[in-house]
Chain A
Amino acid sequence: MSRRPLTAWAFLAPYAVAVALLILVPALLNVGYAGTDHTGLTRDPRFVGLANVRRLLDDSFLVDSLQASLFHVALAVPVRLVAAVGLGLLLAAPRPGGRWFRTAVYLPTVIPDVALAVLFLWVLNPLYGPLNQLLGLVGHPGFTWLADPTTARVGVVLMLAFPIGEGFVVVLAARRMLNGRLYEAAALEGCGPVGQLRRLTLPLLAPVLVLLAVRDTILTLQVNFVPAYVLTDGRPANATLYLPVYIFDQVFEFSGFAYGSLITILLMLVTAAVITVQLVMVRRWRVLR
């Protein structure tokens, strides 16, 4: 009997070791470095107390960075969620050619994000990019996408609206697990497609949707590094200087390893704060039972 848990632990051990070595220890070291003057090359970093924190409170670039990140998460999470849920529900029902559409939705997720970003350099090009061409068809003069602060941020969100495969697959699977009888019962009571979406599908999927929103918040605050690095490098006017970009700049460009470490902790706190707000709203609106 007592061998069973032992076997389980034995199988878990490699993963536990990896988590400890690759995540837990670096995370703790990171906290330690945040209180030093480590540049990344210093042999013996000295403890400097709250000096880095004082610098943090007086850093106008950090304010830009926080604004950029919050703007991004506020727009990207809803856009990505609506896209994943909308497409998931639309394509959950078996219909001819459905598998091709489902594949098409998933495809951008398997493309490396650097490749996708390079593609979006072309998509967002103000002169020959297809997006402005499409806007031209409806008589709009188009935008200078990556040259203007607001449209640059929107451009990054647009790019990240495509790799939504994981959320899409989760919604697809969750929708298919719902009991079809419920929909028949609702139809008999006069509940049409919109009513069924509002009264059945969304409430029944609520636990999944909350999970996806939380996951996407964590993800979205971090994955904007690659598009920002390739598309804008934090510009224009720091509009896309998202926290991960700023951390990278501090750590690897400005030799501010310790300061960058401190900002990663800030990124974690921001993530926790946004998720807390979400969960409070979930509770306030009684989304979950």
Chain B
Amino acid sequence: MSDARGVIRLESLTKAYGRVTALDGVDLEVRAGEMVTLVGPSGSGKSTVLRLIAGLDRPDHGRVWVDGQDVATVPPHRRAVAMVFQDYALYPHLTVRGNLLFGLQVRRVRRAEADRRARAAAERLGIADLLDRYPDQMSGGQRQRVALARALLREPSVYLLDEPLASLDAPLRFATRADLLALHRELRTTTIHVTHDQQEAMTLGDRVVVLAGGRVRQVGPPQQVYDEPADTFVAGFLGSPPMNLVPGGGLLGGDAGATLGVRPEDLALDGAAPVEVTLEAVEALGSEAVLLTRADDGTRLTVRTGPRPGVGPGERVRLRVDPARVHRFDTATGLRR
């Protein structure tokens, strides 16, 4: 039992809401102390996975193990999980202190002990001076910290974070992401982090789980998933701008029945290269530029270059393809060959 603390195992989890299938046979094992990010487009079933682990919903089929225990009959509060909701779900009629004490009071922790623990959690997240504020008197970032502090007080085996950064503006999200990582390094508690932001998934996760249509498309360390996407969906979903996918190969080298893919950074301008395209637009991003091009056969290719590429829209340019970085997928199944 103690060896299994922090281990999560999902076995062929299936869940439908009415006629909508949210999850369709999800298998996953999360190791103790690991930070796993669940990433996928909206409606891919990410949040459903968290809800089933937390016990807020029951699976139609399949099993959930938490800490090595099948939790099918275990009510949510007996599962050693803490959840942070996207909208934080802070109790609006209670101060920060009241929000933090809520669970401790329900569990009948003695007042002095509860106060001490609430204060410790608040200090850890840097919100000790906000204890007497109400949720509507705080910024989004502060509320998010209160939600995290509330989760800390559960002292769970697993943290379930449902898009905790989604409601923050970009600079704050960046800073909070670093804080989350630091907190995780310190606590070493298993964490499942749901996000639709692929950048967040890549930077936070020890491993990334790509979900789509209620199925797991790929599981692996971020770089591996990026370098060797398991199918065309993962290839197109991870990476910005997304991978160029050319059914039949086309100008990347014909291959009937296959879809060839190449990431924008694996294409380069080269006057001596064989692939000739027309430059349609240049997106200057400051530190880099993205070239939107179209070949004579209509194929669109996105190219990532350094800043100030020195070419303009309407010009004919030639592209070099790094042959070692061309991905091959089966056109019929979408799977990597």
State the A residues within 8 Å of B (CB). Answer: 179, 181-182, 184-191, 195, 199-200, 203-204, 206, 289
Contact = CB atoms under 8 A, between A and B. Distances in A.
Contacts of B55: 188
Contact of B134 (A181, A182, A185, A289): A289
B106 A185 contact: no
B89 interface: yes
A184 B56 contact: yes
Contacts of A191: 77, 102-103, 106
Given A188-B83, A189-B154, A200 B56 contact: no
Shortest 9 CB-CB distances between A and B: which pairs?
Answer: A190-B77, A189-B103, A181-B89, A185-B89, A203-B93, A191-B106, A190-B106, A188-B76, A181-B85
Contacts of A185: 83, 85, 89, 91, 150
Interface of B: 54-56, 75-78, 81-83, 85, 87, 89, 91-93, 102-103, 106-107, 134, 150, 154
B101 to A, nearest CB: 11
Given A179-B87, A204-B93, A190 B103 contact: yes
A181 to B, nearest CB: 4
Contacts of A187: 56, 75-77
A189 B89 contact: no
A188 B55 CA distance: 8
A188 B87 contact: no
7 contacts: A182-B91, A184-B83, A186-B106, A188-B77, A190-B103, A199-B102, A206-B93
Given A204-B93, A289-B93, A188 B54 contact: yes
Residue in B55, B83, B87, B89 with the greatest tally of chain A CB atoms within 10 Å: B89
Nearest to B99: A185
Nearest to B154: A189
Given A184-B56, A199-B102, A189 B77 contact: yes
A193 B93 CA distance: 18
Nearest to A191: B106
Contacts of A188: 54-56, 76-77, 81-83, 154
Nearest to A178: B92
Contacts of B87: 179, 181
Contacts of A200: 91
A123 to B, nearest CB: 40
A97 B83 CA distance: 34
Contacts of B78: 190
B89 A184 contact: yes
Nearest to A179: B89
B92 A204 contact: yes
B106 A189 contact: yes
Nearest to A187: B76
Residue in A189, A200, A289 with the greatest tally of chain B CB atoms within 10 Å: A189
Contacts of B106: 186, 189-191, 195, 199
Nearest to A188: B76
A182 B89 contact: yes
A189 B102 contact: yes
Contacts of A179: 87, 89
Contacts of A195: 106
A199 B103 CA distance: 11
B98 to A, nearest CB: 10
Contacts of A184: 56, 83, 85, 89
A193 B82 CA distance: 19
Contacts of B91: 182, 185-186, 200
B17 to A, nearest CB: 14
Nearest to A181: B89
Contacts of A186: 91, 102, 106
Contacts of A289: 93, 134
Nearest to A288: B93
B26 to A, nearest CB: 21
A200 B92 CA distance: 9
A187 B78 CA distance: 10
B337 to A, nearest CB: 44
Contacts of B81: 188
B148 to A, nearest CB: 13
A184 B56 CA distance: 7
A203 B92 CA distance: 10
Contacts of B93: 203-204, 206, 289
Given A185-B89, A200-B91, A190 B83 contact: no
Contacts of A189: 77, 102-103, 106-107, 154
B121 to A, nearest CB: 14
Given A179-B89, A184-B85, 9 more contacts: A179-B87, A182-B91, A187-B75, A188-B76, A190-B77, A190-B78, A190-B103, A206-B93, A289-B134
B133 to A, nearest CB: 12
A184 B77 CA distance: 10
Contacts of B56: 184, 187-188
B215 to A, nearest CB: 25
Nearest to A184: B56
A191 B102 CA distance: 9
A72 B83 CA distance: 49
A190 B153 CA distance: 13
Nearest to A205: B93
B59 to A, nearest CB: 17
A38 B78 CA distance: 75
A190 B74 CA distance: 12
Contacts of B154: 188-189
Nearest to B82: A188
A183 to B, nearest CB: 9
Nearest to B147: A185
